[in-house]
Amino acid sequence: MPARLANILLTVGALVAALAVFGVFAGFAGVSPVQVWMLLFKGAFGDWFAWQNTLQRAAPLMLTALCVALPARAGLVVIGGEGALVLGGLACAALAQALPLPQNWLGLVLCCAAGAIAGGLWVVLAGTLRQWRGINETISSLLLAYIAIGLFKHLVEGPLRDPASLNKPSTHALAAGLQIGGIAGSDVHWGIVLGVAACAAAALWLHGTTGGFALRVVGGNPRAAQLVGLPATRLVLLACGLGGAAAGLAGAVEVAAVHTAANASLIAGYGYAGILVSFIARHEPIAVVPVAILFGGFGAAGSLLQRRLGLPDASVLVLQGIAFVLILASEALRDRPWRRQPAPAVEAAPVAAVVSP
Amino acid sequence: MSLELVSSLLFPILGGALRVGAPFLFVSLGECLTEKSGRINLGLEGVLVLSAMAAFAGSYLSGNAWLGVAAGMAAGAALALLHGLICSLPRVNDIATGIALMLLGTGLAFYFGKPLIQPQAAQLAPIELGGWSDSPAVRAALQINPLLPLGVLLALAMGWGLANLRAGLVVRLAGDSADAARALGYRVAAIRVAATATGGMIAGMGGACLTLFYPGSWNEGISSGQGLIAVALVIFARWSPLRCVGAALLFGGAGAIGPALQSIGIGWGYHLFNALPYLLTLAILIVTCRPGTAAAGSPGELLSNR
């Protein structure tokens, strides 16, 4: 437990350092760092309005982070969440357009399920290519993401296009009964509940069931998994499917709650940001929730920095970049005494002694 | 009629391959060098955008496009150096770091590039290879980016150097077997940092292609993911700098099919043609990969093989 606390403190320390570096960076632009920090907090968590904005951004981040976290627990580095997300949004919009769905919760559930299935299958494809042909899933999922985006643009600007959408090609807007509304009249939609619930379910599955345990064995020690006869391929594909379904659901929710139709606004980089959220949460689904809220908050604070201080809107991108870099680099300081450290000095010397005559 | 049709399709595609292929060539060469040393740099997307901005700023401030190219190379090298240094720390994941640097690089580029969206900067003068022809289509297609021949020379030099020069062998040694390199007394981390930074410098020339040659302006949509694609290009080229030239031209040409078809009135499949190279790369992987073995020609230490 103290080790876990130390790890959390390390991440927090890296975050504080990132804020300090960003303060200095803003200082060069002639802005008071203290004011920057105050506005960052205010824009992200300062009042109810800020919280609404933050949570709205955090919802898809939680789901796309799961698309990285679950396969990561099975030993895969999947970075194609963006592809699963856009296809999920597309499937949601396409189903609503193709079938006369009942305009109530049932139709909405069907739309979201279509998104989750589309996203799940897309990431399962990357997992299948790995298990079947030994193709590295990092590369194939990235390629698949670009193929998915191409497919998305083709269908949205072609067969599925609403002729009325002139400047911004879109599918037909979802019927009002199929849209996800705000919680209690606020701007925060039910996606945040879905995100938190998905993270909690993933954590329960990983830590409370034999299936989740088997998955962690497969990811932690493939040879041990093989020795005890775990169905590694099935578990890997399951993790890919569930992760992809989460990202697909993110796309469907973005369409049903925010954009109301599938269009290019869906390709906003949530898939890539989710990768970083998952890495910072160390692929722990429960930790994904606060990390996603934090980075949703940074995004939400951007417009306030721009309005009040005249900083370019890209300054939050800089802040996020600095924060991610420092938090990832802080991994090097993690002290895990129970794990044997590779000692390069010992490694190098004897080998050299053996090789040289 | 059919001849006309062919020329109105073929030359734009050829021109597109030469124009769009140039940044592809540089990012793929940069990524190739990085991966040869045993490290993957997904942050080249950030490198590309940052160096595109720096090249434009350098050219705008100095009035000399070639100084702009130098500025782009310096910015690219600096960001890639950061990637190399961070990845040298123990337990740091190079995939995640690459994506973090992609964010940081684009963020810095948009931040400092804000005042550069309006002005015009000095451009690289094209090399006119189409002077022999009367056809304006041929002339337009053969207006070559002066950096492109440099890139081809660089690819030749890199292919030769990796095979014959001591430095090239050391880079490949670090990429194929870190243990062997250590046993011979080389510092693997230092080699990889140097290769990553040099790769970033080369990719920086790709950034300069984006802003200092036709259409030649800086905006926030300047890159459509060319830096991320570099990873796919290098696989496509099977880690050979010479094949990077062909791969870059092919990817560039495939991207030009859609616009060329559109110009003769066929709008169908624009985005599908853009996605074609990725499908092709995936197909190549499916054909060449075998379970339990690394992709043919890939460096043994590459994270993606372990």
Name which of A133, A318, A331 is nearest B108 (Cβ-Cβ). A318
Helical segments of chain A, H only: 2-28, 33-41, 48-73, 81-98, 105-133, 137-157, 191-208, 210-220, 222-227, 232-253, 270-280, 285-309, 315-330, 344-355
How many Å apart are CA A334 and CA B90, to the nearest integer? 10
pLDDT tens per residue across span A253-312: 998 888 888 888 888 888 888 998 998 888 999 999 999 999 899 888 887 888 888 788
Residue pair B66/B145 in contact (Cβ under 8 Å)? The answer is: no
Helix or strand or coil: residue A168? coil
- Within 10 Å of residue B20's Cβ, how many Cβ atoms? 23
Closest-CA distance, A185 to chain B, in angstroms, reads 34
Cβ atoms within 10 Å, residue A285: 25
Residue carrying structure tokens 């992709």 = B295
Give the nearest chain A residue to B185 (CA atoms).
A352
Domain ranges of chain B: 2-115+146-301
- Chain A residues with CB inside 8 Å of B111's CB? 312, 314-315, 317-318
- CATH architecture classification, B2-115+146-301: Orthogonal Bundle (1.10)
Q: Please, what is the average pLDDT of chain B?
A: 85
The CATH number fitting domain A32-164+171-310, selected from 1.20.5, 1.25.40, 3.40.190, 1.10.3470? 1.10.3470
pLDDT at B33 over 80: yes
* Residue A285, phi-psi category: left (phi > 0), alpha (psi -120 to 50), beta (remainder): alpha
Please tell me the pTM assigned to this model.
0.85
Q: Tens of pLDDT along A151-210?
A: 998 888 888 787 777 778 888 787 777 777 777 777 778 888 899 999 999 999 999 999
**Average pLDDT for A98-125:** 88
Give dist(CA A233, CA A238) in Å, integer.
Answer: 8
What sign does the dihedral A339-B101-B42-A241 (CA atoms) show?
A: positive
Q: Is the pLDDT of residue A337 over 60?
A: no
DSSP labels for A312-345? -TTHHHHHHHHHHHHHHHHGGG---TTSPPP-HH
Using the predicted structure, report yes or no on whether residue A352 has a pLDDT greater than 70: no
Cβ contact (<8 Å) for B183 and A329?
no
Chain A: residue whose CA lies nearest to B267 = A158
| Cis before B215? omega within 30 | yes
- Report domain extents, chain A: 1-31+314-335, 32-164+171-310
Residues 53-92 of A with CB under 8 A from B: 77, 79
In this complex, do A275 and B99 lie within 8 Å of one another by their Cβ atoms?
yes
3-state DSSP assignment of residue A357:
coil
Confidence of residue A316 (pLDDT cuts 50, 70, 90): confident
Cβ A147–B275 below 8 Å, yes or no? Answer: yes
For B304, the closest of A131, A136, A143 (CB atoms) is: A136
The ipTM assigned to this model is 0.84
Q: What are phi and psi of A170, to 5 degrees?
A: -140, 165
Count of CB pairs separated by less than 8 Å, A with B: 173
